[in-house]
Chain A
Amino acid sequence: MSQRLRLALALTALAAGLVDLALLLRAGEDRPGPLAYLLVAIIGVSWSFAAAGLVAWSRRPDNRTGALMVTVGLAYLLNGLLLNGVTLVRAPLGFELWFLVATLPEAVLAHLIAVYPDGRATTRLQRLFVVANYAATVPLALAQLLLVDPASLGCAECPDDLLALGGRHPYGEAVLAVSNLLLAVLGALLLWIVVTRWRQTPGPRRRSLAPVALVGVVLLAVYMIQQTLTAVMPSPPSLVKTGLDLAILTTLVLWPLAFLAGLARTRLDHSAVGDLAIELSETLPPGRLEQALARALRDPTLRLAYWLPDRCAFVDAAGRSVELDGEVADDRAVTILRQGGDPVAALLHHAALDDDPALVQAVAATARMTIENGRLHAEVRAQLEEVRASRARIVEFGDAERRRVERNLHDGAQQRLVNVSLALGIARSQVGTAADEELAAALDEAAAELRCALAELRELARGIHPVILTEAGLGPALAALAERSPIPVTVAPVPPERLPPRVEETAYYVASEALANAAKHARATAVTISARRRDGDLVVEVGDDGVGGADPDGSGLRGLADRVAVLDGRLRVHSPAGEGTRITAELPCAW
């Protein structure tokens, strides 16, 4: 249906243009201007708008820009037919009819410029302009016909007393001046709309918009100069008038050409698909695919998310979850790439790319294999991420359990034994030393045993969770560790600031485990502990002078390595036989 309509409109424009041409040629000396000028002004402008409009219409049937351009072309053709008809029949009524609709082509053109490239008014200012633009057209012409001397409008044969004013037109000049000023204001408003839209247009869309915007601004600027000049100077120098007319005519012809140039630029964008295909012929690291797509689509904000069917979620190349809802914004859009109806990936891009869905689909089709590879890679990364998170949760749970057990010991058994100890002390103070020597000795013995039990219980609780780490930080905790060690330990100065709890705990357990190994297995006689900051990391190093040969895969060091890995850190064990052991943990502090 749409295709037939376009064909019919094309034939209409062709036929009307040919009729215009015939009328112009026949008019001879009666033509209202030079033949070349009229040929370009009527037929050149009309056909260029109609042709470019039909191209735009066929490419984007859902966008009204093409239909508006065709309307502009047809309006100019109709205008030409009426003008030529008036010239031929020389009837005043014909002139008045032509005069009433003579500004319609410009009104439709102004409408087109105001709503380009969306094809419809999307802002309140645009809607206001479109309404005012059409409202001013016919009423202004009518006011001029009624109040201005027809001769000054270009019709010497027309009656000059349409309002029975006896040939006098006292308001004529004022009406003309107000009309011209009103049109100049409308022109300024349109210029404002064009400039504002250009400033708000994002990068990817500007490429295709640039030629049209440039020509449009020039056209409007010249038009405003012409209107303002006519308003303040009823009879401008003919050179100036001709120059302005030619400038407007040139930009009018150029506007559709600029539009086609914009389309060509979009087509050039499609050549980026070829570049992408070449780039993808080499193996790309997963993260680089997103950059390659961003280059091909000329959208530096583009992000690529892969669909993981098992998780029913999108993730990035690193396996991190991506929320598409977070991308919902006026200037953001999401294109889901599918294979056999199932989602494979999503492109999160600038909304401007929605103007050219074919380009997006072409790029996606070119990159389909690489995207599938990237999706598999992202799936593995997501599983690794899940394993890492799971390990972190296990460590976190273990630490929380340690804290809970230590607190229970402190509040429960320890507290009860303390009370027993106090009760024994009270009983002991009430026993006379001479009278009940045996009882006093028994109480003293019980108190001593109780002190030992309490000391052992405190040591056990400390091993489960070192309270000093929470209370005082890493430095005092390492110092306390050194004090309790059976072998001499030197602790280098520790950064005084408090670090994230997980970092402090991991650093403490590294030192604690290394110290225990040095005492139990390495037969060391001296140990050094250092903890220092380096490039945002905390580097913990424990060295001993023992026999070396520590097994990094032993349960203690393996557990330490797991704990360090939870923080994305690294644990290194250097333990050549006979040369002591050095355990180094690099712990990122961004937790």
Chain B
Amino acid sequence: MRPTVLIVDDHPGFRSLARKLLAAGGFEVVGEAADGHAAIDAARELRPDVVLLDIQLPGIDGFEVAERLRDGAAGPAVVLVSSRDRADYGARVEQCGARGFIPKAELSVDAMRALMGATG
């Protein structure tokens, strides 16, 4: 069964490219969201295996979305993305409960699978 993905980013161009990239690599993209609140609603409705989550979002940011999604025991794996470096965010990446961080320019199917496989 193909892992399902929800893509959250306020840039439509990135969402479109990420959808193509992941779909070609064996993921099933079940939905997209452009801001934090829509992301939480979509995640609760679609129950994806993975949420590809941009950090800089209108309204609530990606860290807070990740923390709220962590509340559920069977919550999705959250993979944070940003066009900035991980170092720009200090310890917040670990503290928010995300599975990991991928710089947007380095987003790839391999990177996604590596993170998903990291905790089984």
Give residues in A with beta carbon < 8 Å to B: 410-411, 414-419, 421-423, 425-426, 429-430, 450-451, 454, 458, 461-462, 466-468, 471-473, 476-477, 479-480, 483
Contacts and interface: CB of A to CB of B under 8 A. Distances in A.
A471 B92 contact: yes
Contacts of A416: 13
B88 A462 contact: yes
Contacts of B14: 415, 418-419, 422
B83 A451 contact: no
Given A417-B105, A418-B105, A426 B24 contact: yes
B104 A418 contact: yes
A407 to B, nearest CB: 9
A414 B90 CA distance: 20
Interface of chain B, helix or strand or loop or mixed? helix
Contacts of B104: 418, 421-422
Nearest to B89: A471
Contacts of B17: 419, 422-423, 426
Interface of chain A, helix or strand or loop or mixed? helix
A455 to B, nearest CB: 9
Contacts of B108: 425
Contacts of A451: 105-106
Contacts of B106: 451
Contacts of A468: 87-90
A516 to B, nearest CB: 18
A467 B92 CA distance: 12
A417 B84 CA distance: 12
A422 B18 CA distance: 7
A454 B84 contact: no
A468 B24 CA distance: 34
A480 to B, nearest CB: 5
Contact of B105 (A411, A450, A471, A472): A450
A458 B89 CA distance: 13
A429 B24 contact: yes
B85 interface: yes
A421 B18 CA distance: 11
A422 B87 contact: no
A451 B105 CA distance: 7
Contact of A471 (B24, B25, B90): B90
A480 B13 contact: no
A421 B111 CA distance: 15
A467 B105 contact: no
A422 B90 contact: no
A461 B85 CA distance: 11
A78 to B, nearest CB: 88
A451 B25 CA distance: 22
B24 A480 contact: no
A146 to B, nearest CB: 90
Contact of B87 (A411, A461, A483): A483
Contacts of A419: 11, 13-14, 17
A332 to B, nearest CB: 48
A493 B54 CA distance: 31
B21 A426 contact: yes
Interface string B7-25: 0000101100110110011
Nearest to A421: B105
Nearest 10 pairs of A and B residues by beta carbon: A472-B90, A476-B90, A421-B105, A422-B17, A418-B104, A414-B83, A467-B88, A468-B88, A418-B83, A419-B13
Interface string B101-115: 000111110000000
Contacts of B20: 426
9 contacts: A410-B84, A418-B83, A425-B107, A426-B20, A429-B25, A454-B105, A467-B88, A472-B92, A473-B90
Given A418-B105, A422-B18, A458 B85 contact: yes
Contacts of B87: 468, 480, 483
A472 B104 CA distance: 21
A415 B105 contact: no
A472 B86 CA distance: 12
Interface in B70-120: 83-85, 87-92, 104-108
A247 to B, nearest CB: 82
A426 B17 CA distance: 8
A256 to B, nearest CB: 79
A94 to B, nearest CB: 98
Given A429-B24, A450-B105, A454-B105, A415 B83 contact: yes
A414 B85 CA distance: 12
A483 B91 CA distance: 15
Given A415-B13, A426-B20, 10 more contacts: A414-B84, A419-B17, A422-B105, A426-B21, A458-B83, A458-B88, A467-B89, A468-B89, A473-B90, A480-B87
A466 B87 CA distance: 11
A415 B56 CA distance: 12
B90 A415 contact: no
Contacts of A458: 83-85, 88
B105 A476 contact: no
A471 B83 contact: no
A471 B88 CA distance: 8
A411 B54 CA distance: 12
Nearest to A419: B13
A583 B29 CA distance: 54
Contacts of A414: 83-84
B19 to A, nearest CB: 10
Nearest to B56: A410
A50 to B, nearest CB: 84
Given A417-B105, A422-B104, A410 B83 contact: yes
B108 to A, nearest CB: 6
Nearest to B25: A429
A422 B21 contact: yes
B20 to A, nearest CB: 6
A450 B105 CA distance: 9
Contacts of B25: 429
B64 to A, nearest CB: 12
A417 B14 CA distance: 10
A418 B21 CA distance: 13
B88 A480 contact: yes
Nearest to A406: B84
B118 to A, nearest CB: 21
Contact of B11 (A415, A429, A430, A473): A415
